[in-house]
Amino acid sequence: MFILQRFLIICILTCASYSSTITGAEIEATGYVRVQQIDGVWWFISADGEPFVSTGVNHATSATYWLQSYNRDNTVKLFGDDILLQQSEKAIAPKKALLKKVEGWMHDWHFNTFGMHTSDEVKPYIDSDIYYMTEIKLMTYHTSMKPGDPWPDVFSDAFVQQVDEKAKEVCTANRDKRNLIGYYFTDEAAWMSYFRRLPDDYKWWFYFNPWVDYMRKLPAGEPGKQAWMSVLKANHASPREAARVYGVQANSWIDVEQLTEWPAPEKTPKTYKDNIAMLTRIAEKWYAIQHTAIKKYDPNHLIIGDKQYRTVPDWLAPILKRYVDVISIQRFGSWDYINMAMEDVYRKTGKPILSGDGNCGYVSAYTESMRGEYKVREYNEEAMGYQYGQLMEGLSSSPFMVGLHHCGFIEGWGTPARRNYAIRYGFVNPFGEPYKVFTEHVSRANRQVDIWHKAVTR
């Protein structure tokens, strides 16, 4: 009898399927986070089979915000001198202390996820009842690339090997985590040609992608150069025509392939067509190779792919449909503004959407002032709290949305070198003091998210 009882218990634990307390639907507990559409509404499903909407935070443990010139001394006072030793083992203990402080706030304010922008070194210590994201980091974030930086040749065997090694490393460390949601690739992917702080003579990057430019300048015979040649041969009647479009001299396709110096292209329909055709080939390889490697080492967890900037171009949508499980979009503002893009992306892809880096900041919610050499935004906490609630209610009332990860957690001041850091809408000030009124609104909204999302069910 005892053996039979144990057998029945094992069957229940390994084949669990039960009625959810949120939706009432029969949902399988698979042991890892996944997504499921229930009565027309998308949800994340926990390892235990419980639907949830991801309420997340970004930049919560980042030294970028805790160790600026205006708050470094205070952070040291809170967590000890060793937190300044960012690359040292001695910094682990204070970083863990910071993590646990943040986790306490997250519990108080009903956040359940550490988003993409969470320090890698603290991820092994995240509480098991808080979800998290991780990354397959192959290169510098695309929008931070500068002229002269090398882009990966995604058509090469070397890239396949690089991805395999990185996926093995990251997946081995995370694949057994029940609170892992899934894998990101990079931040603000280059598909939309959005780049920061470009020199004036490189403004053409905004209409002709630098990844494409890098490939066309590779030596003859390189896999990426061969891909570029296939684009030119498909889109141009002759090598002389192709050469004329790009302002180079060539009488044969061999001459074109030998070229490693190409001038900045003109903005014309023909260069646009070539640019999109090449980007499509690059993106196909970028996603397919990483998808294959991740599934090789972790067949269970979700693939988020890149955090897309603002929207998804039409040519990219079919690729995302093939290789990612959830589409992550970065977009800021009111829900009406954010939703314009989200609805369009869902129409194109049919995939659940995560607002992977966004917030509800308005000009009306703060005023700018100077505190010495630093630019500060003084919050109207009631206005910010109201706007956060409106954003979360709108998002949760959408059947294709599965969460929002807020940018950011701690308020940043603008320094003389980086004034834009003053745009972070934090729950705590730079000195680790919560905005009480704001976070009361935040907590109240976050408690309602699953209820709002359930109400969408038809």
pLDDT in tens, 277-293: 999 999 999 999 999 99
d(CA 271, CA 212): 11
What is residue 73's predicted lDDT score, i.e. its pLDDT? 97
What is residue 5's predicted lDDT score, i.e. its pLDDT? 46
pTM for this entry? 0.92
Give the residue ranges of DSSP H helices in 259-334: 269-297, 317-323
Helix axis angle, 269-297 to 157-174, nearest 10°: 40
d(CA 438, CA 377): 14
Nearest to 333 by CA among 410, 423, 420: 423
d(CA 452, CA 268): 47
With a cut of 50, say whether residue 9 has pLDDT above it: no
What is residue 442's predicted lDDT score, i.e. its pLDDT? 97
With a cut of 60, say whether residue 17 has pLDDT above it: no
What is residue 376's predicted lDDT score, i.e. its pLDDT? 83
Beta bridge partners of 61: none
Taking only the tens place, the pLDDT of each residue in 359-399 is: 876 545 677 788 888 888 787 889 889 999 999 999 999 99
**H/E run at residue 391:** helix 381-396
Phi first, then psi: what are they for 16, rounded to 5°? -65, 135
Taking only the tens place, the pLDDT of each residue in 59-115 is: 999 988 999 999 999 999 999 999 999 889 999 999 999 999 999 999 999 999 999
The pLDDT mean for the chain works out to 91
Around Cβ 4, how many Cβ atoms within 10 Å? 8
- DSSP E strands: which ranges in 320-421? 327-330, 353-358, 366-371, 374-379, 401-406
Averaged over 106-130, what is the pLDDT?
97
Give the residue ranges of DSSP H helices in 298-371: 317-323, 335-349
Coil, helix or strand at residue 449: helix
Averaged over 268-276, what is the pLDDT?
97
What is residue 435's predicted lDDT score, i.e. its pLDDT? 95
267 falls in which pLDDT band (50, 70, 90)? very high
Pair 177, 125: CB distance under 8 Å: no
Q: In whole angstroms, what separates CA 411 from the centre of its chain?
A: 20
